[in-house]
Structure 1
Amino acid sequence: MPTIRHSEPRDIEAIRGIYSEPSVYASTLQLPWPSMELWQQRLDGRNEHFHSLVACEDDEVRGQVGIEVFSNPRRRHVANIGLGVSAQARRRGIGSALVDAATGLCTGWLGVTRIELEVYTDNDAAIALFERHGFVAEGTARGYALRAGEYVDVLLMARR
């Protein structure tokens, strides 16, 4: 079972490496070839509404989940999550451990009662993962994001 913890500055290179993998950026809203500066800004700790957790095996970062709690007073009960798992670490419980940790942090400590996410409609493994953790599809956003020159659809999923 992986170890879950908050990310630290020493993890930025490993996190950037995960999101540099073609299969990861193709499954997220990340762009290819992310810079260290971009990830340093994202994970600098200045945004009090953003939390970053990592999953480690043998002290190596294998996956990351970002949790953004909305700051709008009418949406403070809602968070959005996004995650990436290194291709060589898939199917070993990393994603499941990250989703468990993120939902536990949200519901047990952050006062979040609704967790939202977007997942590409062709990402069957991720959809199954999220469904196993209580997320349900609430709709499809057509042409949601540009991926490799083509606009693709996402499922809007949430857990309450």
Structure 2
Amino acid sequence: MNRPEIRQAEPNDVAALLGIYRQPEVYENLLQLPHPSTSYWLERITHPQPGQRHLVALAENQVVGHMGLTVNTNPRRSHVATLGLCVDPAFRQQGIGRALMQEAVWLCDNWLRVTRIELTVFADNQPAIRAYQRVGFELEGRAKDFGLRNGIYVDALFMARHKPA
């Protein structure tokens, strides 16, 4: 597969994002609840929080991935961004997630004055952990019983990528 097109999310992407985020194999690895509403996603895309960006990846002319990148608005942590990522299960292992992460790193390193990108991932999500490590994220800590998934509390890992000096 060729490198996917990465662009800013637009209101007309909401239906495709809902199609991705409503899949059980997606939401069970995130801290979002099942059954997200159209209005929830429309609000996120059209009125992002301060410092927040939403990018989508396109393959075969359809939205197949989403990345949320939020630069911290606290002046003492304005060098830090938080990354959230999701790829449609039908398009995993095709470089979509890697392309979205590389775009986040490029934006942070070259445009946003961000030197630290943070993320949280469930400790048993080994494919995601390996993908994050391949683009330079390192393990920084573990939180026991971090989130509830399918009625069971699951540990999470804190990972970060630091801009090289």
Superposition TM-score, scaled by structure 1 size? 0.97
**Residue of structure 2 equivalent to 1:44:** 46
Residue segments in structure 2 that go unaligned for 5+ positions in a row: none
Contact 2:18 2:38 in 1 (8 A): yes
Shift of 1:46: 4.3
**Residue of structure 1 equivalent to 2:134:** 132
Query: Bigger shift: 13-22 or 91-100?
Result: 13-22
CA 72–153 in structure 1, closer or farther in 2 if over 3 Å, else same: same
Residue segments in structure 1 that go unaligned for 5+ positions in a row: none
Whole-Å separation in 2 of the counterparts to 1:152 and 1:40: 29
**Residue of structure 1 equivalent to 2:125:** 123
**Residue of structure 2 equivalent to 1:27:** 29
**Residue of structure 1 equivalent to 2:19:** 17
Identity of aligned residues (%): 47
Contact 2:50 2:73 in 1 (8 A): no
From 111, 114, 121, give the equivalent of 1:112. 114
**Residue of structure 1 equivalent to 2:85:** 83
Shift of 1:30: 1.3
**Residue of structure 2 equivalent to 1:145:** 147
CA 57–25 in structure 1, closer or farther in 2 if over 3 Å, else same: same
C-alpha offsets along residues 113-134 of structure 1, whole Å, 9 cap, x if unaligned? 0000001111110000000000
Contact 1:116 1:156 in 2 (8 A): yes
| Equivalent residue runs for 1:96-111 within 5 Å | 96-111=98-113
Whole-Å separation in 2 of the counterparts to 1:101 and 1:69: 14
**Residue of structure 1 equivalent to 2:9:** 7
CA 46–138 in structure 1, closer or farther in 2 if over 3 Å, else same: closer
The 3-state SS of whatever aligns with 1:43 is helix
Whole-Å separation in 1 of the counterparts to 2:29 and 2:79: 26
Letter in 2 for 1:64: H
Contact 1:53 1:102 in 2 (8 A): no
**Residue of structure 2 equivalent to 1:157:** 159
From 70, 84, 98, give the equivalent of 2:72. 70
Letter in 2 for 1:54: V
Letter in 1 for 2:114: V
Contact 1:16 1:39 in 2 (8 A): yes
Shift of 1:105: 1.0
Task: Find out whether 1:92 has 2:94 as its counterpart.
Answer: yes
